[in-house]
Amino acid sequence: MSASGVGAPPTVRVWVDDQPVDVEPDGPVVEAILRKDERFPHICYHPALGPIQTCDTCIAEVDGKLVRACAVPAAEGMQVRTQTVRAQEARMEAMQRILVHHELYCTVCDNNNGNCIVHNTTMHMKINHQKYPFQPKPYQQDNSHPFYRYDPDQCILCGRCVEACQNLQVSEVLSIDWNRDRPRVIWDNDVPINESSCVSCGHCVTVCPCNALMEKSMLGEAGYMTGLDPALWEAMIHLTKAVEPGYGPIFTVSEVEAQMRQSRIRQTKTVCTYCGVGCSFDVWTKGGKILKVEPRMEAPANQISTCVKGKFGWEFVNSPERLLHPLIRKGDRFVQVSWDEALDYTATRLREIRDNYGPDAIGVISSSKCTNEENYLMQKFARAVIGTNNIDNCSRYCQTPATEGLRRTMGYGGDTGSIQDIAHADLVIIIGANPAESHPVLSTRIRRAHKHFGQKLIVADLRRNDMAARADLWLHPRAGTDFIWLAAVTKYIIDQGWHNEAFIREKVNRFDEFRAWLSPYTLEFAEQQTGIARKDLIRCAEMIHEATKVCICWAMGVTQHVMGSETSTLICNLLLITGNVGRPGTGAYPLRGHNNVQGAGDFGCAPVYLPGYERVDDPNVRAKYERAWGVKLPETPGMDNHRMVEEIHQGNLKAMYIQGEEMALVDSNSNHVQAAFEKLEFMVVQDVFFSKTAQFADVVLPACPSLEKEGTFTNTERRIQRLYRVLEPLGEAKPDWWITQELARRLGAHWNYTHPGEILEEACGLAELLKGVKWDRLEGYQSLQWPVQEDGTDTPLLYTEGFPFPDGKARLHVPAWRPPVLEPNEEYDLHLNNGRMLEHFHEGNLTYRVPGIREKVPMTYVEVSPELAKKRGIETGALVRLVSPYGAVKVRAVVTDRVQGNELYLPMNSPRDHEAVNYLTSSYHDDITHTPAYKEISVRMEVLEAKGPSPMKRGNFRLGHPRALPGVMVEQKWRRTDYQPLTDEAAPSAEQAKRLKPRAPVPT
């Protein structure tokens, strides 16, 4: 139950074979039929895609006419008859036409797992003989891609893959060439898959209703007889065809075999370990092997959508490089030891340091990759066992300024709504973010809405990234000046009288003070400071004014500056003065980077906050936790991770316990951070791999990745979801919560958690924000968005009833301007931007250990603009050294128009530690939150080799050429001379059918 949910939507009543069925109005009538008979044929129709109209298998009589049920909107009183002779004959003919394109060999097919739509439909329609024999197509299988293959001989040309690619993922790679004698699905302009612009999201494979598109990891693995020698396999198919008098017996055998597969194939739900979108899906495993990732419509954040990492990026779990045993540093090497030895030693050293120097000499870093339960235990360990508030997590490096901006102005430090709200906005503004590569599934909802539903898009970014290339307006400000143009646009809106006076009057404080502060931020000033043309600033203001629902998404391009908190505050102010908060389709969306960076903060891993953002220096809060935990708790806020590094150099911090964080490479100014680690008297690192950070440790503890444990994650929507154990832990690796508990016990704590559910119940029993979160309320695909009331009512949309301040009103906060640091000068003349790329996550510790991903992007590279490349005499492949006041890295260059002028871009991932971008960044930081100003750095570029082998290898989608098309373009099929219509009247046009497409998939 949701606090902000409206009443049940209206319905219409249609009559299906004389039975009443209530459905949403204007949805396709096939949905009504499926409610009565879930086996009703509908091969190409998918609720996430809407009508495609290629298969004709859903033909029914509607009000006396034979129509495709997927393409007709349900209307009150509609009479639908599915069992008339005409309707049945039409559907049968349609299915017979499909089987021309698909060789049925179900028993030896890896897709025969009970969910093959072609198999199930053929069987349920009781087709015993093929009217038209199967005809092989004159095309080879395409096995070029590392993760999936396409078999044209099995392709029924339903177009689901095309529709998914063009209009759900909107990467616009796939199409069907209907002009050939034998049509086929093609990638780009008909190139091998791995030479195309395919981003490997996996949508096409997921929606394929048969085995034409299959994950390679499934081939030869899923069935009892699918791994046969190919010659034998072919002979068996031939024999099956020769001896079958009809399909009946064959289907019986294949059904039995499919049932048998359930004995050895497990399907376990998990939540993605990568970005903050929080995709959930089933992972299919056979023993310790991962067969595939199967997303489902029930998934609340993503439904059937995935990206390359979520769909294909899990082989790292079985990597031979996994840490499997505890290690202790002895001399110049690490030596494998037992768990008891490692834990005893760690506890002894921590106790010694605490006793000698005090609890605040120890710093604890929790992990945004670990579960909520594990984060809760880490902060409990720091506070209740060590006795310090020196606990932090990596949100410090990214979205803490946004949290600060939200908390100052609106009250809660989380996204104000859900991904569905972003999909339904009239206007989306993306500032300093690249969601197409950093939050891929979230960005698909924006792309779909923009392509087909009239949503407008403004992007403010230095790079011409994917979303900027699609935008209706692309603003390219000078680095570090978002603050100025935002203030100018806000002032212009107010000057024009376009602000929402009623909303401000009823729900917002300090308008006059803020308005007065805005006075210097004229359009002229902004144009001069930012480089954005005045007309573009005006256009931006106009677009905001014209839209009734505006969402603003932002990320590191805003927050990783010395003014990150202030710029985030301005974004919130803009939304408030235009009334774009607290309504569906509106709001503030700082995009959380990691799968559980939201949860790490929610569950208290911050120096100032206990779980639920209750302050450590509030005596009432402290008293509550002291009662619950049975210990006295420290009173003063502790050090954040950035400050810990300084305190190490000052000699005040002597030890660190780091869980799942590559601090040596992801904190800024890596040389400075690593020098600090060398000064520690004791360091324990708990991780999945032997990271760069672990190289400095005294003790290394092997931890389990997400697939090997239970728990919950919280995504960028504030949505808490459960993950289930998919695989048994490898070697001696343990879940992080077990490790922390064992350490705590050795330090005198009486912890006796036997399961993460117990930890969650304790944590949520104490935090007001999470009071109603219960383990069993998160069963399966259920989820809760905090705040959650005690009866389980959650809050998908914040601020519908006011703001959590004493008077219920939001507060416009007057920000403070500070100029960016380290701007280009004579010695360091180029601005260095940095961030993520699609294929690799963060620094790449996980994704570089996925062979297929590594094959596609084997190395990092710096992006150089064509104009700069020409000036410096370099080409793609050049080897350059980038030098900043803080360090140097050597990388190959790619010349591209994604960057302009003297702006470079270096991704933060690399397979080689010494290429890490943070060897170049400084220790300057946001004044309020201490978030490093990663984006404020200038370098000089020394050319070592003017040309060389391109670092962009075959398989990199950026080398491809997508083709934006409306979709399958089924009208081309209907115009073919060999197509005989089966319906009574001309099909609805593409425009008419489009109205039946969902704006965004809705979880079932």
Partner 1 sequence: MSLPRKGVPDLAKAITTIEWEQPSAQEQTVRRLAKVADEAADAADALTAFIRWIQLMHEKGWLQAMIAILEQGEDIMKILVRQANEPEYATGLKNLIGLTALLGQVDVEMLRSVAVAAREAKTRVTSGQIQPVAGIFPLLAALRDPAVGTGLAWMLEVLKSLGQAVAQPDPTHAPAPSLVTSAT
- Which spans of this chain sit near partner 1 (rule: CB under 8 A)? 96-97, 100, 129-133, 135, 157, 181-183, 228-229, 231-232, 235-236, 238-239, 242-246, 248-249, 325, 327-336, 341, 344-345, 348, 664, 674, 677-683, 690, 692, 695-696, 698, 973, 976-980
Q: Where are the beta strands (DSSP E) in 132-196?
A: 148-150, 174-177, 184-187
Nearest to 611 by CA among 623, 624, 602, 621: 602
| CB 347 to partner 1: min, Å | 12
Nearest to 741 by CA among 384, 390, 391: 384
Q: Which is nearer to partner 1, 344 or 495 (CB)?
A: 344
Report the distance separating Cα 95 and Cα 471, nearest Å.
42
957: tokens are: 């989608």
What is the 3 state secondary structure string of 269-280?
EEECCCECCCCE
Q: Which is nearer to partner 1, 136 or 949 (CB)?
A: 136
Burial 637-665 (b: 16+ CB within 10 A, else e): ebbbbbbbbebbeeebbbbbbbbbbbbbb
| CB 94 to partner 1: min, Å | 9
Q: Which is nearer to partner 1, 99 or 726 (CB)?
A: 99
| CB 337 to partner 1: min, Å | 9
Cα 562 off chain centre by: 27
| CB 249 to partner 1: min, Å | 6
Cα distances (angstroms) measured from residue 303 to each of 46, 276, 445, 491: 12, 15, 11, 40
Q: Where are the beta strands (DSSP E) in 163-303?
A: 174-177, 184-187, 213-215, 266-271, 280-286, 289-294
Report the distance separating Cα 609 and Cα 629, nearest Å.
16
Q: Which is nearer to partner 1, 215 or 661 (CB)?
A: 661
Report the distance separating Cα 197 and Cα 956, nearest Å.
8
| CB 348 to partner 1: min, Å | 7
β-sheet bridge partners, residue 508: 810
Q: Which is nearer to partner 1, 614 or 661 (CB)?
A: 661
415: tokens are: 């996204």
Q: Which is nearer to partner 1, 231 or 502 (CB)?
A: 231
Q: Which is nearer to partner 1, 170 or 353 (CB)?
A: 353
| CB 332 to partner 1: min, Å | 6
DSSP one-letter string for 338-370:
-HHHHHHHHHHHHHHHHHHH-GGGEEEE--TTS
Contacts (Cβ under 8 Å, ≥6 apart) of 671:
886, 887, 919
| CB 731 to partner 1: min, Å | 10
Contacts (Cβ under 8 Å, ≥6 apart) of 38:
none
Contacts (Cβ under 8 Å, ≥6 apart) of 368:
393, 394, 395, 593, 594, 595, 596, 597, 599, 600, 660, 661
Q: Which is nearer to partner 1, 18 or 181 (CB)?
A: 181
Q: Which is nearer to partner 1, 620 or 977 (CB)?
A: 977
Angle (CA) 471 444 833, round 5°: 60
| CB 78 to partner 1: min, Å | 30
166: tokens are: 């063009």
| CB 318 to partner 1: min, Å | 18
Q: Which is nearer to partner 1, 321 or 942 (CB)?
A: 321
The alpha helices in 371-500, defined as continuous H runs, are 372-380, 400-409, 419-423, 435-438, 440-452, 466-470, 482-495
Q: Which is nearer to partner 1, 91 or 722 (CB)?
A: 91
Contacts (Cβ under 8 Å, ≥6 apart) of 991:
none
- Cis ω on the peptide bond leading into residue 787 (within 30° of 0)? yes
858: tokens are: 């084997």
DSSP one-letter string for 790-801:
TTS-B-SSTTTT
| CB 67 to partner 1: min, Å | 20
Residue 403's Cβ-side half-sphere holds a number of Cα atoms within 13 Å equal to 24
- φ, ψ dihedrals at 285, nearest 5°: -130, 150
Q: Which is nearer to partner 1, 95 or 766 (CB)?
A: 95
| CB 131 to partner 1: min, Å | 5
| CB 685 to partner 1: min, Å | 11
DSSP one-letter string for 295-312:
--TT-TTTTT---HHHHH
The answer to whether residues 170 and 963 touch, using CB atoms and an 8 Å cutoff, is: no
| CB 500 to partner 1: min, Å | 54
Q: Which is nearer to partner 1, 182 or 954 (CB)?
A: 182
Cα distances (angstroms) measured from residue 638 to each of 260, 360, 633, 653, 673: 57, 8, 12, 12, 19
| CB 643 to partner 1: min, Å | 20
| CB 678 to partner 1: min, Å | 4
Q: Which is nearer to partner 1, 328 or 917 (CB)?
A: 328
Q: Which is nearer to partner 1, 95 or 193 (CB)?
A: 95
Contacts (Cβ under 8 Å, ≥6 apart) of 696:
664, 674, 677, 678, 680, 683, 685
Q: Which is nearer to partner 1, 678 or 776 (CB)?
A: 678
- Cα-Cα-Cα-Cα torsion 322, 328, 330, 332, nearest 10 degrees, comes to 30
| CB 964 to partner 1: min, Å | 24
Report the distance separating Cα 970 and Cα 158, nearest Å.
10
| CB 390 to partner 1: min, Å | 18
| CB 657 to partner 1: min, Å | 14
Q: Which is nearer to partner 1, 542 or 681 (CB)?
A: 681
The answer to whether residues 518 and 491 touch, using CB atoms and an 8 Å cutoff, is: yes
Nearest to 82 by CA among 95, 96, 69: 69
Q: Which is nearer to partner 1, 417 or 702 (CB)?
A: 702
